[in-house]
Amino acid sequence: MALNQTKSLVLATCPACGMLCDDINANDAPTSTCEKSIAFFTQNAVKSTPRIAGKQVNLSEAIAKVTAILKPAKQVLLAGLSTDLAGFRSAYQLADKTNAALAHMNATTTWRNLKVLQSTGWQTTTLTEVKNRADVIVCIGTDVVKHNPRFFERIVWPKKAMFVKNEGRDVIYLGGKGLDTSHGVSPKGKRPTVLPCDPIKLPEVTAALHALVAGKTLNTKQVAGITIKDLVAIAERLKQAKYAVLIWIAKDLDFPHAELTIQQITQTVVTLNETTRAGALAMGGSDGDTTVNYAHTWLSGLAIDQEVLPEHDALIWVNSFSPEKTVPDTGTPTVVIGNPNMKFDNEPDVFIPIATPGLDCAGTMIRVDSNVILPLKQVRETQLPTLAEVFLQVEAAL
Amino acid sequence: MITLLKNGKVYDPAHGKNGVKQDIYIRDGHIIAKPSKTERIHETIDLKDKVVMAGAIDMHSHIGGGKVNIARMMLPEYQETLNYSEPEAHICTPNCSHNATPSTTDAGMRYIEMGYTAAFEPAILPINARQAHLEMGDTPMIDKGGYAMLGNDDYFLRLLAGKANQKTINDYVAWTLHATQTIGIKVVNPGGISAFKFNQRRLDLDENNTYYQVNPRQILKSLSRAVHDLGIAKPLHVHCNNLGAAGNFQTTLDTMGASDGIAMHLTHIQFHSYGKEGDKKFSSAAAEISEAINNNKHITADVGQILFGQTVTASGDNMMQHLNANHANPKKSVIMDIECDGGCGVVPFKYRDENYVNALQWAIGLEIFLSVEDPWRVFLTTDHPNGAPFTSYPHLIRLLMDKSFRDEAFSRLNLDAQAMSNLTAIDREYSLYEIATMTRAGASKLIGLNDRGHLGTGAGADITIYSEQADKEAMFSKPDYVFKDGELVVKNGEVVKVVWGKTHTTKPDYDHGVEKGLRDYFNQYHTVQLDNFKISDDEMAADGRNSIVTHTKPCAKPPINR
């Protein structure tokens, strides 16, 4: 007998951020605590047709125009790549056939992390471990909730955990400005430790924390406005923790050579693991960035390109998940394939609206902490083609 | 359409055929009996003097899933080693890519070019099974399958600590096989990966996980029993405690006794056969381990041979890989705790023949190969990529088949290591029949692939044809022809047609009531829905290329005269 024939309520998986919450009741009006999720599942099912220079056409006319753009091009770029696994696989195949380059809209932030992975590596953990084990949670330069709104609700303050009680957890915000630290308050009202600083000062703060955890003494009274006494207290709390978790979000570390700050964080975790247990955790994620990078890695042997817009003379921009994001104007012939709710200041040469994975069609995505791969469900009907269907037709026409 | 392979010298140990001149007929992807005279033969290939074997089966190779992909991502420099020549004891061939982190496409292509038609990913973390299958789904040319890792997951340890009865364990194991679409069960450092999360740094066979108060012996007993009771062909796949530690051979010997005589497979046993004799407190215990394998008929093993050069070690054993990270070369590593399910450790390594420990590891692996008497119970692996990339198999086969070649390589090793090994005293040279046993018939029997690994009527027509050569490395590097499911896919060592293999699974019956406890556990403690943890048959085939073969019943008595 097959396993997946349970009669229970089918819950949807939300691709609006890297956490991929898969407990969304999308059948009724979504009642999530997460605005991103509500916005995703309630976006308009607009009746949209392909357009050439703003003029409505049918799909085959649009495909013909796409091939007319691709054929003379010497270096096609398939970019944006806000899509799921099936979409990316089809993009990879088309790129293979047309010798096109592939790039993701989040490459800059993805590479802040990858540079650390490729330089020293790291010791990391995942969400279920954090939920059940973490007794100290340090959010560095981020409140997390701006990117992953349900992080505290689902992971830090669960109803039950195997090895730690909620009131036994300490939440610390280190660095960052204007953070929403309200989610760090425990269900019984225990307040987090908040030590703000200008994000640009995080390189110094994280280096100081690493030094203190490694047992060094610092001959100064403060770093970036944070007293050494406070930093020493954090270092001691980390060393006493049974399972400390140090969290960052690459998008929030928006300054030159942020990878060096991330490395200070991950090396602090490595040092902690000499005597106790700790894990690093990169959160955030959007637009299928983790999925695209992982699949690119196994298909080609290498991670996704470092550049968001490498050199090209024809551009195909894919944007399934973020209709509000604009298309870069590169001055080259541009095809946009994406969410039917996308708006344009300058209409592209071709626009093909497609089904959104997790809403209009099923799909697959990789969660931001890696290792967890979740199916996306179809929750409504659409006439729109999927990205893979469009690319297959382009391939056939070439 | 019938294809006739005429006049080949057939090595088919499953049917006791040792270089027998025999014709083989293929129709609709299968080997058929000699057709009647009225049936038309559409194509005849004359294989006079050629060596004919079933397609080879790699029963342990890390080809898909989280840690392999982390290795790719961490080590972009490995993509530049394609034409790298190694000045050490590893003697290169053009086919030896040295690439320890091939892309999925490369992996499939390199396997089929060597005449391998199936490979099994031995370490599928259940929560990561979907990724492993996605990667294997993108691996062309070969059949795939995997073993699901249990024994460090909190759900199982809670059952064991709560003294759940064996039936409940069995149902959970069966449920896991269904949910993860796998064909076997593996345990890695039993209890140790969990213990590491509670800050234990080593775990011996009879030492308790401090939180659960259960020990590795209990875990092995429970899981081996479950595999046995469920009638799964593949014995419990065991990566012993104390991986890579000097003196660990005693743990390995004791582990053989942990299942009360129920079948177990001890994997990459070379890494678990170390003594601590001598000035350097590191020595070969290959003799003790081989003797124990010879005497314990319920034990099988694959070797996990190391070969010299650059590679990367990717293991579920984050406890021991955390220690090994100190030896990383280049100096970087990834250690992960994963989803209350397991962990992983990815540590790049460069094995060097002038290094005492590495040289002795090389010798220990070969000593085991050559001292285990029964080729049906020892398997040819490098634990790809941990000991070496799988592309070095032809080189390894030559080391086993050619004593003078082996002795020459030995003479280049670190001199202290030479003094600690009796390898040159072993005269054995593997025969073609024994190689076919290890890499075909034995592997198929072990995993329970009824229609693979042999050339009998009804078998899937996965067939590899070589020109016999004195240089066995050259011979096994470049087959003349490879057929996959009856289609000619490789000619003169080059791929002539791209095909997509199947995924082999097993789905034993079980009491579906087990899901109630699992659902409660997922709802309370996990971060995904139980229903999303499970992979359906439809999902496996959703890419339009993959298909599932379910081996519902264990291989009956092996169709074999031994």
Residues 282-321 of A with CB under 8 A from B: 293-295, 297-303
B520: exposed, middle or buried (Cβ count in 10 Å: 0-12, 13-18, 19+):
exposed
Q: Which residues pair with B333 in a beta bridge?
A: A121
B128: exposed, middle or buried (Cβ count in 10 Å: 0-12, 13-18, 19+):
buried
Closest-CA residue of B relative to A377 is B532
CB B330 within 8 A of CB B310: no
Closest-CA residue of B relative to A86 is B543
pLDDT at residue B220 tops 90: yes
pLDDT at residue B284 tops 80: yes
What are the residues whose beta carbons fall under 8 Å from the beta carbon of B92, sequence distance 6 or more?
B85, B86, B98
Chain CA centroid to CA A307, Å: 17
pLDDT in tens, A262-293: 999 999 999 999 999 999 999 999 999 999 99
Element holding B517 (H helix, E strand):
helix B514-525
ipTM of the complex: 0.96
- Looking up tokens 């000045």 gives B87
pLDDT at residue B186 tops 90: yes
Overall pTM > 0.80: yes
Which residues of A fall within a CB distance of 8 Å from B72? Answer: 297-298, 301-303
Element holding B144 (H helix, E strand):
strand B143-149
* Residue-level pLDDT at B519: 98
* Residue-level pLDDT at B285: 98
Closest by Cβ to A371, choosing from B74, B128, B525: B128
Distance CA B548, CA B143 (A): 10
Q: Does A119 touch chain B (CB under 8 A)?
A: yes
pLDDT at residue A54 tops 70: yes
pLDDT at residue B79 tops 90: no
Q: Helix A387-397 to helix A59-70 angle, to the nearest 10 degrees? A: 60
What are the residues whose beta carbons fall under 8 Å from the beta carbon of B164, sequence distance 6 or more?
none
Closest-CA residue of A relative to B64 is A298
Best CA proximity match to B533, nearest among B222, B131, B223: B131
Look at B135 and A298 and tell me if their CB atoms are within 8 Å.
Answer: yes
Pairing outcome for strands B481-484 and B463-467: antiparallel
Average pLDDT, chain B: 94
Distance CA B222, CA B241 (A): 16
pLDDT band at residue A156 under the 50/70/90 scheme: very high
Element holding A341 (H helix, E strand):
none
Distance CA B343, CA B338 (A): 5
* Residue-level pLDDT at A316: 98
**Which of B327, B337, B347, B507 to mutate to test binding with chain A, by most A CBs within 10 Å of its CB?**
B337
Best CA proximity match to A293, nearest among A118, A169, A72, A134: A118
Which residues of A fall within a CB distance of 8 Å from B333? Answer: 121
| Alpha carbon separation from B329 to A123, B312, B354 (Å, rounded) | 17, 9, 15
CB A334 within 8 A of CB A349: yes
Which residues of B fall within a CB distance of 8 Å from A155? Answer: 527
Residue range B302-313: mean pLDDT, rounded: 94
pLDDT in tens, A331-367: 999 999 999 999 999 999 999 999 999 999 999 999 9
pLDDT band at residue B502 under the 50/70/90 scheme: very high
Classify A314 as helix, strand or coil. Answer: strand
* Per-residue burial over B386-401, b = 16 or more CB atoms within 10 Å of its CB, e = otherwise: bbbbbbbbbbbbbbbb
pLDDT in tens, A32-41: 889 999 999 9
Best CA proximity match to B302, nearest among B429, B446, B421, B451: B446
Q: How many CB atoms lie within 10 A of CB B46?
A: 11
Q: What is the DSSP letter of A255?
A: S
**Which of B70, B73, B211, B522 to mutate to test binding with chain A, by most A CBs within 10 Å of its CB?**
B73
What are the residues whose beta carbons fall under 8 Å from the beta carbon of B93, sequence distance 6 or more?
B394, B395, B473, B474, B477
Look at A373 and B134 and tell me if their CB atoms are within 8 Å.
Answer: yes
pLDDT at residue B86 tops 60: no
Which residues of A fall within a CB distance of 8 Å from B106? Answer: 301
Closest-CA residue of B relative to A375 is B532
Q: Does A29 touch chain B (CB under 8 A)?
A: no
Which residues of B fall within a CB distance of 8 Å from A277? Answer: 196-199, 337
Q: Which residues pair with A60 in a beta bridge?
A: none
Structure tokens at A72: 């003379």
CB B141 within 8 A of CB B111: yes
CB A84 within 8 A of CB A363: yes
Structure tokens at B246: 């000097």
Residue range A367-373: mean pLDDT, rounded: 96
Percent of chain A residues past pLDDT 90, beyond the cut:
93
pLDDT in tens, B385-422: 999 999 999 999 999 999 999 999 999 999 999 999 99
Percent of chain B residues past pLDDT 70, beyond the cut:
95
Residues 123-182 of A with CB under 8 A from B: 123-129, 131-133, 154-155, 158-163
Give the total residue count for chain A.
398
Residues 208-247 of A with CB under 8 A from B: 242-243
CB A277 within 8 A of CB A240: no
* Residue-level pLDDT at B81: 53
Pairing outcome for strands B463-467 and B50-54: antiparallel
pLDDT at residue B93 tops 80: no
pLDDT in tens, B5-54: 999 999 999 999 999 999 999 999 999 999 999 999 999 999 999 999 99
pLDDT in tens, B231-249: 999 999 999 999 999 999 9
Smallest CA–CA separation between B73 and chain A, in Å?
6
**Which of A1, A3, A156 to mutate to test binding with chain B, by most B CBs within 10 Å of its CB?**
A3
Measured on CA atoms in the order B167, B168, B170, B171, is the torsion positive or negative? positive
What distance, in Å, lies between the first and last C-alpha atoms of chain A?
A: 44
* Residue-level pLDDT at B80: 64
Q: What is the DSSP letter of A185?
A: S
pLDDT in tens, B97-120: 458 899 999 999 999 999 999 999
Amino acid at residue number B315: S
Q: What is the DSSP letter of A356?
A: P
Smallest CA–CA separation between A66 and chain B, in Å?
25
- Looking up tokens 């290169």 gives B92
Q: Poorest-confidence range of A28-42, B302-316, B519-533?
A: A28-42
pLDDT in tens, A307-325: 999 999 999 999 999 999 9
Smallest CA–CA separation between A243 and chain B, in Å?
8
What are the residues whose beta carbons fall under 8 Å from the beta carbon of A41, sequence distance 6 or more?
A12, A14, A24, A26, A30, A359, A379
Classify A297 as helix, strand or coil. Answer: helix
Give the start-end residues of each E strand in B285-393.
299-302, 309-315, 333-338, 342-351, 378-379
- Looking up tokens 């800059």 gives A108
Closest by Cβ to A4, choosing from B322, B332, B531: B531
Average pLDDT, chain A: 95
A47: exposed, middle or buried (Cβ count in 10 Å: 0-12, 13-18, 19+):
exposed
Closest by Cβ to A277, choosing from B199, B333, B536: B199
Q: What is the spatial order of strands in the sheet that A55-56 belongs to?
A: A55-56, A51-52, A350-353, A334-338, A314-319, A76-82, A101-102
CB A268 within 8 A of CB A68: no
- Looking up tokens 């030159």 gives A256
Smallest CA–CA separation between A346 and chain B, in Å?
36
Distance CA A368, CA B411 (A): 50
* Residue-level pLDDT at B561: 34
Distance CA B114, CA B285 (A): 32
Q: Does A118 touch chain B (CB under 8 A)?
A: yes
Closest by Cβ to B72, choosing from A8, A85, A297: A297
What are the residues whose beta carbons fall under 8 Å from the beta carbon of A236, sequence distance 6 or more?
none
Q: How many helices (H) and strands (E) does chain A have?
A: 11, 17
Look at B512 and A1 and tell me if their CB atoms are within 8 Å.
Answer: yes
Which residues of B fall within a CB distance of 8 Å from A1? Answer: 512
Could you tell me how many CB contacts below 8 A there are between chain A and chain B?
A: 171
Q: What is the DSSP letter of B297?
A: T
Closest by Cβ to A160, choosing from B99, B138, B524: B524
* Residue-level pLDDT at A49: 96
